[in-house]
Structure 1
Amino acid sequence: MRLLLLRHAKSDWGEPDLADFDRPLNNRGKAAAFKMARYLKDNGLLPSQILCSTSLRTRETLARLLPGFPQEAQIHLLSDLYSDSEGDYLGFIRKQGGRAQSLMVIGHNPAMENTALTLTGTADAAAVADLREKYPTAGLAVIDFDIADWSELQPGTGHLDRFIKPRDLKDDPA
């Protein structure tokens, strides 16, 4: 089974009175979300199920991914992915993932980084070092597991297949 951990794209801090939950994506974030959508499609990283925080910036990130997915994915908007973003997302993945062969979580840091590091057991040393250095906005960790159901998920049992940041990807030539 494959887990795609995508941190929301860069949000707009232009309105200081706006609640954190209500911050939209800025222009850089919109571009990064489209870039990641293209990467996901081009590399066949297409989730069958998506767990997404209900914050505006995560929902806007999701909206920019969906047009690139040729298949329909079950989408679950979970407010707890926002309110519990200080720890990790293991409990949500175990409870909500079911038997989805490819599960995407769109959420926040530090929970995104903590989840990726907690689950990774094996990986290329450079990829883990990169992940530990910084989990930037629109960063994506792809972790593979040998399990039949997400309820079986355990720390340290995943293989970090790759860690991709928007700046690692070429800009659209158009």
Structure 2
Amino acid sequence: MTRRLIVLRHAKADALVGGADHARVLTPEGRDQARAVGARLAAAGLRPDHVLCSTARRTRQTLELALAAFESPPPVEYEDALYSADVPAVLDLVSRTDPAVHTLLVVGHNPTMAQLAGAFMADEPLTGFPPAATAVVDLEVEWLYAAPGTGTARLLA
């Protein structure tokens, strides 16, 4: 049985001007982007069964606004590790996903989200991954074995 991994970069956030990066919030444009992502996911029938989300405020806001497109939100795990994770660390978190989950949404930050999506796009190199960019990876393996080469990704337009 195939698994589907949805990779989402948080929507456009305010620039860092003093304060903590972790506390940055979405801009009005970012809020619109997040709602649009939710609408695109819903229209494509891509309802996640489970979510892994960075604890940063902008990722939490992106997720909240995107999930508003669904009648019943899936369970969410907020992971501190996603804030500064590299691709192997994200894949480690993915590998721990319950086998009963068929569609997993990961909400995080660049450059990691771009690198993660790009790792599954060998035939079509990724040239950019702007705020609120979304990639859908169809895996050919169980979560435990998710790694580049075990599935193919496409950008959700």
- Whether the TM-score (by the shorter chain) exceeds 0.5 is yes
62-71 or 79-88, which moves further after superposition?
A: 79-88
Q: Specify the alignment match of 1:12 in structure 2.
A: 14
**Higher CA-based Rg:** 1
Partners of 1:108 and 1:63 lie apart in 2 by 16
* Contact kept in structure 2, 1:10 and 1:29, CA below 8 Å: yes
Q: Specify the alignment match of 1:71 in structure 2.
A: 72
Deviations 1:15-43 (A, max 9, x none): 61121110000011001011111111111
* Contact kept in structure 2, 1:51 and 1:106, CA below 8 Å: yes
Structure 1 residue 72: deviation in Å? 3.5
Structure 1 residue 85: deviation in Å? 4.7
Partners of 1:93 and 1:120 lie apart in 2 by 18
Q: Specify the alignment match of 2:143 in structure 1.
A: 150
User: TM-score normalized by structure 1?
Assistant: 0.82
Partners of 1:53 and 1:139 lie apart in 2 by 16
AA at the equivalent of 1:113: A
* Contact kept in structure 1, 2:50 and 2:76, CA below 8 Å: yes
Partners of 2:118 and 2:51 lie apart in 1 by 20
Counterpart mapping for 1:40-55 below 5 A:
40-55=41-56
Greater helix fraction, Structure 1 or Structure 2: 1
> Aligned residue pairs: how many?
154
76-85 or 48-57, which moves further after superposition?
A: 76-85
Partners of 2:147 and 2:52 lie apart in 1 by 18
82-91 or 41-50, which moves further after superposition?
A: 82-91
* Contact kept in structure 2, 1:85 and 1:107, CA below 8 Å: no
Partners of 1:85 and 1:60 lie apart in 2 by 22
* Contact kept in structure 2, 1:8 and 1:57, CA below 8 Å: yes
Aligned CA-pair RMSD: 1.8
Partners of 1:26 and 1:72 lie apart in 2 by 23
Matched residue SS, 1:89? helix
Q: Specify the alignment match of 1:135 in structure 2.
A: 129
Structure 1 residue 69: deviation in Å? 1.4
Q: Specify the alignment match of 2:98 in structure 1.
A: 98
* Contact kept in structure 2, 1:113 and 1:135, CA below 8 Å: yes
Partners of 2:73 and 2:91 lie apart in 1 by 24
User: TM-score normalized by structure 2?
Assistant: 0.90
* Contact kept in structure 2, 1:85 and 1:108, CA below 8 Å: no
Percent sequence identity is 34
